[in-house]
Structure 1
Amino acid sequence: MTLPEPYVREAGCGAAVVCIHCNASSSSQWRSLMDLLSPTHRVLALDSYGSGNSPDWHSDRFISLADEVAFIEPVLARLQSPVTLVGHSYGAAVALKAALAAPTRVRALVLYEPTLFSLIDAFTPPPNRADGIRDAVSAAGAALDRGDRDAAAKVFIDYWMGEGAWANTPEHRRQPIVDSVANVRRWGHALFTEPTPIQMFHRLDVPILYMAGKRSTASAQGVAQLLIPALPRVRAVEFEELGHMGPITRPEVVNAEIKRFLEQV
């Protein structure tokens, strides 16, 4: 059996940078970063399972972050090591898991609010700071059970971007999000059941840029409060005016920080 591989966008030449997108998005979210870095780097942006031009998850069991890492493994294996992994939200969680799986392959990590909610639950059993996203996943799942994908998308997008965000989403951008949100329970399961303990992240002895938005959700902030102290070579940057979707809503701000970091590692 031939295992599926992700769709890849690629630009530039030089040291490899691999970008992994957030949920309800695709590799297209990294276009402006690719334009910025391609004069000096070989930039690859991947579509995760069920996103963009990649195949959907092929099993009837719930997906794990280890499965997401296995999906991108063939791409990483073909690159000359070491590489820089860039991830946003769910994609940042996958990047961390990939770095733990093969630390010698990774030159640096660039993370925007990895959503490893399992760390919050392991530190403080519910109720805790992850309850907001836990409730959002449950409500979105209930909407899907009613056959109302639009309502599911509204719950998910409004949680991460604020009340009214879905209503203000341009019509041409809605359908891919509606289609993707069908996987919301799958995403939640992967993030809440990830078994990696906080102590494992002490092993990531590479330069790490950890970016966060001051206007982000309690769940993202809760992960940051636990994870940043566990990373031995981390540079933490908080954007005063941004929220969890900063790499999409204000890519020029986030991308400039990424470029500065890569010039120093």
Structure 2
Amino acid sequence: MKELQAGVYYRPAAQPDADTVLLLHSSQSASSQWRHFIQTVGERVNVLAVDLLGYGNAPQASITTHFRLQHEIPRVQEAIAAAAVQQPLTVVGHSYGGALALKIVADQALAVNKVAVYEPVSFHVLPEDSPGMMEIRAISDAMHGKDATACTRTFVDYWNQPGYFDALPAKIQALMVSQAEKVSLDFDALLNEPLQLDDYARIKQPVLLISGEYTRRSAQAVVRALSSVLPNLTEQQVAAGHMGPLTHPAEVSPLLSDFI
């Protein structure tokens, strides 16, 4: 992968007229999370992997209040321009990156021919009084007013398992703690996105929606809600949790590769 600009990585396909796959990562991660998938797909497609704002080598978000998914889109558009690839694209996203992928397609911010997402955390599609929303609100509330380390521990352990953060190497802990402010912005964006559930019905492109068998209630609820409105949907499930693209890439990557 060649770094075209800070946090934007590109690998051309073997054939000049190949399609392009845009990769969008989860919160508390970076484009490097797609390493296994990039190896799996080989040189059949152009690969464009983008560090989202506040992660990897990307700049920090310039907006610190009322941050929304739409504020990520100019960076993605700039990455596409830097790579000089043709649209339409295939978009692949995980968690926060999955929610952003669906936002991009629903708003027609890019020309997209298909989209594959692993547990997009589009919490805004859930009713306020639903168990899934109440669970994720409780996590958000538990992080409110805490220091960066406590917030990071709560976030990381929720999506993995209790004690996961404390078992990580100190260097990884420090990196995650340094990204805690962006995680807070991500939560704001996901919970307050103006799109409603029915708005996702306008996504007519083929959608692959992958979920983990052992994921959290909030993520399961979002998957169920989206599956009720997406008109051109293929669903797959793997024996993994929410972090399946990182913890079980041998199961997830082939599903993505086959779909694209």
Determine if the TM-score, normalized by the shorter chain, exceeds 0.5: yes
From 247, 250, 253, the equivalent of 1:249 is: 247
Q: Residue in 2 aligned with 1:119? A: 125
Q: After TM superposition, list the pairs within 5 Å mapping 1:50-199 onto structure 2.
A: 50-77=54-81, 78-102=84-108, 105-120=111-126, 124-126=127-129, 128-144=131-147, 149-199=148-198
Letter in 1 for 2:8: V
What is the 5 A alignment of 1:217-232?
217-232=216-231
Q: What is the distance in 2 between the residues matched to 1:174 and 1:10?
A: 28
Secondary structure of residue in 1 paired with 2:117: strand
Gapped regions of structure 2 (runs ≥ 5): none
Q: Is the 8 A contact 1:220 1:244 kept in 2?
A: yes
Q: Distance in 1 between matches of 2:97 and 2:152?
A: 19
Q: Which amino acid counterpart does residue 36 of structure 1 have in structure 2?
A: T
Q: 2:209 aligned with 1:210, yes or no?
A: yes
Residue pair 1:6, 1:46 contacting (<8 A) in 2 also: no
- The question of whether the paired residues in 2 share the 8 Å contact of 1:12 and 1:37 is answered with no
* C-alpha distance in 2 between matches for 1:101 and 1:127: 26
| CA–CA separation in structure 2 for the residues paired with 1:129 and 1:243 | 16
Give the aligned partner of residue 27 of structure 1: 31
TM-score by length of 1: 0.89
Moved more, 27-36 or 130-139: 130-139
Pairwise CA distance, 1:166: 1.2
- Hey, what's the Cα distance between the residues in 1 that align with 2:109 and 2:202? 8
**Number of residue pairs aligned between Structure 1 and Structure 2:** 250
Identity %: 30
Tell me the residue number matched to 2:50.
46
Give 2:259's match in structure 1, choosing from 234, 257, 261: 261
> Could you list the runs of 5+ residues in structure 1 that have no partner in the other structure?
none
Separation (CA, whole Å) in 2 of partners of 1:20 and 1:225 = 22
Deviations, residues 52-110 of structure 1 (Å, cap 9, x unaligned): 10100112432101111232122235420111000000000110111122277101101
Q: Name the Cα RMSD after superposition.
A: 1.7
Q: Note if contact 1:69-1:98 (Cα within 8 Å) is conserved in structure 2.
A: yes
